[in-house]
């Protein structure tokens, strides 16, 4: 099968994005397409695959997101900004309710975060602390507590956005330690039957924090939007900042503006940047992509975001 796609990124979290509104494939085939196109050793590469899907009576359009390993996630908030842009451009609209796998999010165009940067505002949630479904400790909530069975004595907050996140606030991020815990979660131990995204968060003064995430189904990524949302909520819960206050949420790929409310809704505002469009032949059965034909590079957008990411890196 040959697929046309746009390679895009939200805060450095990069994905091939397919307009799948007229493509009817089963889940196993999409999983194979994701493995093929997101394979970093292949001709495209990314942190996962995004699909723009049809709307319904309540949603202008939908989003599906497959991780690089082919597993389907409940949401992807960096990816949602990209799918929102694609949906807006396809339908000629500026705001929408979007159907996610198990929830709905609201998206709209926002004032540019920096010159030349297409910026989308998204409101997702509510952040869910009732985590007994995916964190099997015997308790329904785990807020700022060590998790018995996890290979770490750190205090974690478990929150679903609705995808599962474990968040620890640390003085200094140790990537080896984060990866060790993330890899443990990837084994789907009895404690975490659905696995989880694991993040370490450094507070940077009164108005900023830095989030590093080992993503379920991917590994260490430059940025994870739902982890930034979960971290913003967890920072408010633990009194590190206040509900209703906007934070700059930094990551390896740049930044977003984030704000959590006491009702669990979290707003992120950030980029949806096109890198290039093209097409590739994909063998979904083997998860292998063939030679790519590139149609267009978006050099101005790439340069505009590079300035933001450079400034964010300090």
Ligand X SMILES: N[C@@H](CCC[C@H](N)C(=O)O)C(=O)O
Q: Which residues are annotated as a binding site?
A: 13, 67, 163, 197, 215-216, 225-226
Contact status, residue 210 vs residue 204, Cβ threshold 8 Å: yes
| Nearer to ligand X (CB atom), residue 47 or residue 301 | 47
- Please tell me whether residue 64 binds ligand X under the rule CB under 6 A: no
Task: Tell me how far, at minimum, the Cβ of 225 lies from ligand X, in Å.
Answer: 3
Residue 302, both tokens = 């790439």
User: Going along 219-299, which residue ranges are E strands?
Assistant: 219-221, 247-251, 254-260, 266-271, 273-283, 288-297
Q: How many residues does the chain have?
A: 314
Out of 36, 84, 105, 224, point to the residue binding ligand X (CB under 6 A): 224
Number of residues that bind ligand X (CB under 6 A): 19
Residue 168, both tokens = 């620890």
| Nearer to ligand X (CB atom), residue 42 or residue 162 | 162
- Please tell me whether residue 264 binds ligand X under the rule CB under 6 A: no
Contact status, residue 163 vs residue 226, Cβ threshold 8 Å: yes
| Nearer to ligand X (CB atom), residue 19 or residue 122 | 122
Task: Tell me how far, at minimum, the Cβ of 43 lies from ligand X, in Å.
Answer: 22
* CA–CA separation, 124 and 261 (whole Å): 11
Extract the annotated binding site for substrate: 13, 67, 163, 197, 215-216, 225-226
Q: Of residues 226-245, which lie at the interface with ligand X (CB under 6 A)? A: 226
Contact status, residue 286 vs residue 259, Cβ threshold 8 Å: no
Active site (annotated) includes residue 76:
yes
To 5 degrees, how large is the angle CA 215–CA 228–CA 62?
Answer: 75
Name the site residues for ligand X (rule: CB under 6 A): 13, 47-48, 65, 67, 73, 76-79, 163, 197, 215-218, 224-226
Name the residues annotated as catalytic.
76, 224
């Amino acid at each position: 099968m040959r697929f046309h796609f746009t390679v895009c990124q939200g805060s450095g979290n990069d994905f091939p994005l397919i307009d799948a509104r007229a493509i009817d494939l089963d889940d196993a085939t999409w999983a194979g397409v994701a493995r093929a196109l997101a394979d970093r050793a292949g001709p495209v590469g990314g942190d996962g695959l995004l699909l723009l899907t049809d709307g319904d009576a309540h949603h202008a359009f939908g989003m599906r997101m497959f991780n690089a390993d082919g597993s389907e996630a409940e949401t992807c908030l960096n990816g949602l900004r990209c799918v929102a842009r694609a949906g807006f451009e396809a339908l000629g609209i500026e705001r929408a309710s979007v159907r996610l796998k198990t929830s709905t999010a609201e998206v709209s165009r926002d004032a540019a975060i920096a010159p030349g940067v297409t910026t989308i505002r998204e409101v997702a949630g509510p952040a869910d602390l009732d985590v007994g479904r995916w964190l099997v400790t015997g308790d329904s909530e785990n807020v700022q507590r060590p998790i018995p069975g996890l290979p770490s004595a750190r205090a974690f907050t478990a929150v679903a956005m609705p995808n599962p996140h474990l968040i620890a606030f640390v003085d200094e991020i140790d990537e080896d330690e984060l990866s060790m815990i993330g890899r443990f979660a990837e084994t789907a131990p009895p404690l975490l039957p659905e696995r989880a995204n694991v993040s370490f968060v450094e507070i940077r003064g009164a108005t900023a924090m830095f989030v590093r995430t080992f993503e379920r189904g991917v590994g260490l990524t430059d940025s994870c939007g739902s982890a930034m949302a979960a971290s913003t909520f967890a920072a408010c819960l633990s009194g590190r900042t206040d509900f209703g206050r906007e934070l700059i949420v930094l990551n390896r790929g740049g930044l977003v503006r984030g704000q959590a409310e006491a009702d669990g809704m979290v707003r992120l505002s950030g980029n949806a940047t096109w890198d290039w469009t093209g097409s590739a032949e994909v063998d979904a059965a083997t998860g292998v992509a063939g030679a790519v034909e590139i149609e267009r590079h978006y050099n101005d957008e790439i340069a505009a975001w590079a300035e933001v990411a450079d400034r964010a890196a300090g």
